[in-house]
A and B are shown apart, each in its own frame.
Chain A
Amino acid sequence: MFDDLRDLYSAEIRAHGRSPSYGKRPAVFDATAKGDNPMCGDRVQVFVRRDGDAVAEAGFEARGCEITVASADLMCAAVQGQPTHHIRAMSDQVAEMARTGLCDACEAALQRMRPLSAVHQYPSRLKCVTLPWLALVAALDGDKELDR
């Protein structure tokens, strides 16, 4: 019945959405921020441990749909080792990918986000993908709360 949804709910997305690898608060972190989507009640809190100017470790706690959790999980993997000043550009690329479905210009580290590009066919779900990234950017900017 739901065959046409297998693009969005692919096996990979479902695995990350149901059993995330990074869905916990790291033992040590030096930046955190919450992202709220007041329209739906989803909330993601992202935690970052920095090592110099790079993201050494990222983790999250979320109450949200499978797409939000999968996005947060893939994000935490993608940003590991990335320079903190580069995170905003990565977030912008993910937002563009979510909007257009295209990730051709995405850098290598973002290729793992590609399964989420199917969300462009579901405009009401775009925020599910971008919310964790906005929280991450807010954490690195020093903002504790983020209402969108």
Chain B
Amino acid sequence: MNAMTKPLFDVERIRSEFPILGEQVHGKPLVFLDSAASAQKPRFVIDAMVQAMETQYANVHRGLHWMSERTTDAYESTRDAVARLLNAPSRDEIVFTKNTTEAINLVAYSYGRGVMQPGQAVVISEMEHHANLVPWQMLRDSHGIELRVAPITDAGELDMAGLEALLQDRKVALVAVTHMSNVLGTVVPASRVAALAHEYGALVLFDGSQAVVHRPVDVQAIGADFYTFTAHKLYGPTGLGVLWARRELLERMPPFMGGGDMIGSVSFERSTWAEVPHKFEAGTPPIVEAIGLGAAVEWVERIGFDAIQAHEAALTDHALSRLAGVPGLRVLGSAQDRGGVFSFTMEGAHAHDVATLLDRQGIAVRAGNHCAEPLMRRLGVDSSARASTGIYTTPAEIDVLADTLHRVREFFA
């Protein structure tokens, strides 16, 4: 780096914006390596939510009073922010849900049961989170839809030839795959997947829960039909997810849930539906959470994905190098394009025991099957520990992890 060049990314300044990172765990500084499960929240997001509740809160879309109008404005401005984040053609294509899981269930219910025909098929991949697997199984069992599973390679990449083979008979209505694996860190070539699906007449849905945190996502450039993510992994609050879909699809889909706010008119005989996206948002929505997501998007955009990606690429290289130096440690997957998610097993030690020992040193990792049981079977492991990075993760924290893993290894030797 040129000495005159301003650093793209000052991780210490970033860290100072996260109050929780000053906490200690078991008397040790918190080393939070579980952001893929849920990320920590910057002061900017916390303040936005507190300020909303303290100064500007009422129900949305129904009040004729000042507070309701202001709250509605704040709530709806998040739709604009999310549309900008995803480069969606229209803010009306942004549907708020509870989380990614609900967003995918919404598609499986409304598009699957409302538009797809029995005898058609859905393709998922071997590396899906249960959230992008179980809703399709339920659709298969209730609606006569075939469920097909595209293979992954031993490196943990989507097998594109295997995917294409499943599309050949043109029965596939939808390809629903992760954009970035929550276990392997593999980034799926989304635009290639979308082009392939479209070539065979299928639509494509991406589970963007992990990807949206690490990469700029442009649903138009990708050629996506549906895109889903959740606020709490993007430094926002829990309780709010996002479904983006092309307007034409949303308009063809029947509502997911019935209730207030999603109707045009109601009589005892029949009801009509509100326009999209409100047709899919029954009942009082997570108002404060949406305001929190709006703040999170603004905060992330201010840092910029160029800086985020550069930071993460350096961290990933460092982590893979340090973890490779721990005897008996196997990192799952070796995709060419991967992000800051590292699942590993340790010879002679169960992932739970490893995680407990790490926890006592203040290091938070996840252990288990990561809601991806079929993938774990494909990889031939029962469970693994997973370290995942966030915008606030430092190389020094990766060093603490690697050094401690050496000691864990000695403990279980």
- With A and B bound together, what is the CA distance between A88 and B382 in angstroms? 29
Q: What's the A-B contact tally at a CB cutoff of 8 Å?
A: 52
A11 on interface, CB distance cutoff 8 Å: no
Contact A2 B411 (CB under 8 A): yes
B177 an interface residue at 8 Å Cβ cutoff? Answer: no
Residues of A within 8 A of B353 (CB): 9, 65-67
**How far, in Å, is B346 (CB) from chain A's closest CB?**
12
The answer, yes or no, to whether B350 is at the interface (CB within 8 Å) is yes
A30-52 residues at the B interface, CB under 8 angstroms = 38-43
With A and B bound together, what is the CA distance between A9 and B407 in angstroms?
15
Q: Do A41 and B368 touch across chains, with their CB atoms under 8 A apart?
A: yes
B373 within 8 A of A: yes
Q: Does B404 contact A (CB under 8 A)?
A: yes
Query: Is B356 interfacial (CB-CB < 8 Å)?
Result: yes
**CB <8 Å contact, A42 and B407:** no
Cβ-defined partner of B369 (8 Å) among A41, A65, A128: A41
Contacts of B360 in A (CB 8 A): 2, 4-5
User: How far apart sit A2 and B28, CA to CA, in the bound complex (Å)?
Assistant: 13
**CB closest residue in chain B, given A125:** B356
Residues of B within 8 A of A41 (CB): 368-369, 373, 376, 382-383
User: What 0/1 pattern do residues 1 to 44 of A give for CB contact below 8 A with B?
Assistant: 11011001100000000000000000000000000001111110
* A81 interface hit (Cβ, 8 Å): no
In the bound complex, do residue B383 and residue A40 qualify as a contact, i.e. CB atoms below 8 Å apart? yes
Judging by beta carbons under 8 Å apart, are B352 and A128 in contact? yes
Q: Which of B361, B368, B376, B404 gathers most chain A CB within 10 Å?
A: B368
- Contact pick for A5, options B357, B369, B382, CB 8 Å: B357
Q: How far is the CA of A2 from the CA of B382 in the complex (A)?
A: 25
A85: interface (CB < 8 Å): no
Is B323 part of the contact surface with A, judged by Cβ < 8 Å?
A: no
- CB of B356 within 8 A of CB of A40, answer no
Q: List residues of chain B with CB under 8 Å of any chain A CB.
A: 26, 350-353, 356-357, 360-361, 367-369, 373, 376, 382-383, 404, 407-408, 411
When A and B form their complex, which 4 residue pairs have the shortest distance between CB atoms, in order from nearest?
A: A40-B368, A65-B350, A65-B352, A41-B369
Q: Pull 19 A–B residue pairs with CB atoms less than 8 Å apart, ordered by A.
A: A1-B361, A1-B407, A2-B407, A2-B408, A9-B353, A40-B351, A40-B352, A40-B367, A40-B368, A41-B369, A41-B373, A41-B376, A64-B352, A65-B350, A66-B353, A67-B352, A122-B356, A125-B352, A128-B352
Name 11 extra pairs, CB < 8 A, besides A2-B411, A125-B352: A1-B407, A2-B407, A4-B360, A5-B360, A9-B411, A40-B367, A41-B373, A42-B352, A64-B350, A124-B356, A128-B352
